[in-house]
Structure 1
Amino acid sequence: MLHAYLSAFAFIALMLFSLSGLLLNHPDWFKGRNPAVDHTLRLDAAELREAAGSADPARALAAIVAERIALKGGYKSGEVIDGEAQIRFEGVSGKSDLLIDLASGQVEATVEPATVTTMLHDLHRGKNSGAAWSWVIDLTAVLTLAFSLLGYVLFFSLRFRLATSLQLTGVSLAVLAVIFFVFVP
């Protein structure tokens, strides 16, 4: 019973990674773009002082702006240089860029939601997807390898197919080697 349940998960996950792998290999198949949305707002002097007094002013400014605007992604980076703060959020759901004038408190925010294709790409690669999704990728890889290896061993265990199995293995390895060494730049 455990084998059946683990197989069901492995097959669903394998289908997801196969589909997203196709999209990675052919990004022009589904061109699409969700338009970026620009927001402007002004931080008051108290908010600017609060952020300036924190250990990480860019992160503090990002938190203040995130309370007012629905930003896409998680905090990626931020720097405060010459009276301006530049802050970037990235995630599977999209990205956001903040430009904050620390003298006036003027905030210019650009929020760009991800398309379905970019979401699948990021999930496939594990980019900006967090630790939980990283575990899903690892679990899928381990289960797929285990079931593939088990199937391969079972394939070889059939005595009347042993010669054919060895020949198919050799041909498969040779074809992959030729493609790699001849056609891959």
Structure 2
Amino acid sequence: MPSVNPSETKNLPRKKSRKWRNWWVKQLHTWHWISAAISLAAMLFFAVTGITLNHAASISANPVVRDTSGQLSPALLATLTAKSDDAPLPAPIAAAVRGAVGLDASGKPGEWSDSEVYVALPRPGGDAWVSIDRASGKITSEVTDRGWISYLNDLHKGRNSGSAWFWFIDVFAAACILFTVTGLFLLQVHARHRPSTWPVVLAGIALPVVLALLFIH
């Protein structure tokens, strides 16, 4: 029966511990670069638009307004009725509006009165609306374009950007959280060889707190 070296038996838990630690460090590195790759472009976008938002007052914009009009047929006008105060336009009328003025009002809540139906169509970087005269069937619309910087700023805020962009922001935020948390653990792993690690981290935490307490009222 082969003899067992006592020193090898003694070092076995240490080897297992080192192997387990190396596995976790490898996982941290993997998820850190994956989350970085996922969030890279969006992080750059939100950083740049953060600057443009911060200087929005000094960035001039010249809104471009476009007015368009059209006409509902008598047959469609007769179907212009609402079941509730914020009901959307009936599908055939929404299709007619799209064909007449190029705006898609389908599914959007309308403001119904005795004289007209008004549908607000806000969008990133601008605004739009459609109004239908309930007596004559005249379609009136207006589209306002505030430029591409306003468009990007509104995407940054998630303003009137739809459900797809809403979920994109959530996924991007989750990737950023994963990137930050794995980065924090990697800092802890390498901190023993980099004495300035925790002072720099604490400075990064303290700076916004001090600014908020002293200069924001």
**Which TM-score band (shorter chain)?**
0.7 to 0.9
Secondary structure, aligned partner of 1:51: coil
* Among 180, 185, 191, the residue aligned to 1:153: 185
Asked whether the 8 Å contact 1:78–1:86 carries over to 2, the reply is yes
In structure 1, what residue type is equivalent to 2:166?
A: S
In the alignment, structure 1 segments of 5+ residues that lack a partner are: none
Cα shift readout 1:61-109 (whole Å, capped 9, x = no counterpart): 4443122212278765421112222211122364321222211112221
Matches of 1:6 and 1:31 in 2, distance apart?
Answer: 36
Secondary structure, aligned partner of 2:122: strand
* Among 63, 71, 89, the residue aligned to 1:59: 89
For residues 13-162 of structure 1, the aligned pairs below 5 Å read 13-52=42-81, 58-60=88-90, 61-71=93-103, 76-92=108-124, 94-158=126-190, 159-162=192-195
CA, structure 1 residues 69+152, in 2 after alignment: closer, same or farther (shift >3 Å)?
same
When the two structures are superposed, what TM-score results if normalisation uses the length of structure 2?
0.72
Matches of 2:146 and 2:173 in 1, distance apart?
Answer: 26
Asked whether the 8 Å contact 2:89–2:106 carries over to 1, the reply is no
In structure 1, what residue type is equivalent to 2:186?
A: L
- Which structure is larger by alpha-carbon Rg, 1 or 2? 2
Matches of 1:146 and 1:48 in 2, distance apart?
Answer: 54
CA, structure 1 residues 161+184, in 2 after alignment: closer, same or farther (shift >3 Å)?
same
Query: What is the number of equivalent residue pairs in this alignment?
Result: 184
Matches of 1:152 and 1:7 in 2, distance apart?
Answer: 14
Asked whether the 8 Å contact 1:71–1:95 carries over to 2, the reply is no
Which structure: greater strand fraction? 1
When the two structures are superposed, what TM-score results if normalisation uses the length of structure 1?
0.83
Asked whether the 8 Å contact 1:84–1:101 carries over to 2, the reply is yes
Question: More displaced, 131-140 or 51-60?
Answer: 51-60
CA, structure 1 residues 137+58, in 2 after alignment: closer, same or farther (shift >3 Å)?
closer
Asked whether the 8 Å contact 1:72–1:90 carries over to 2, the reply is no
In structure 2, what residue type is equivalent to 1:14?
A: M
Task: Say what the alpha-carbon RMSD is for the aligned residues.
Answer: 2.7
Matches of 1:85 and 1:37 in 2, distance apart?
Answer: 20
Secondary structure, aligned partner of 2:80: helix
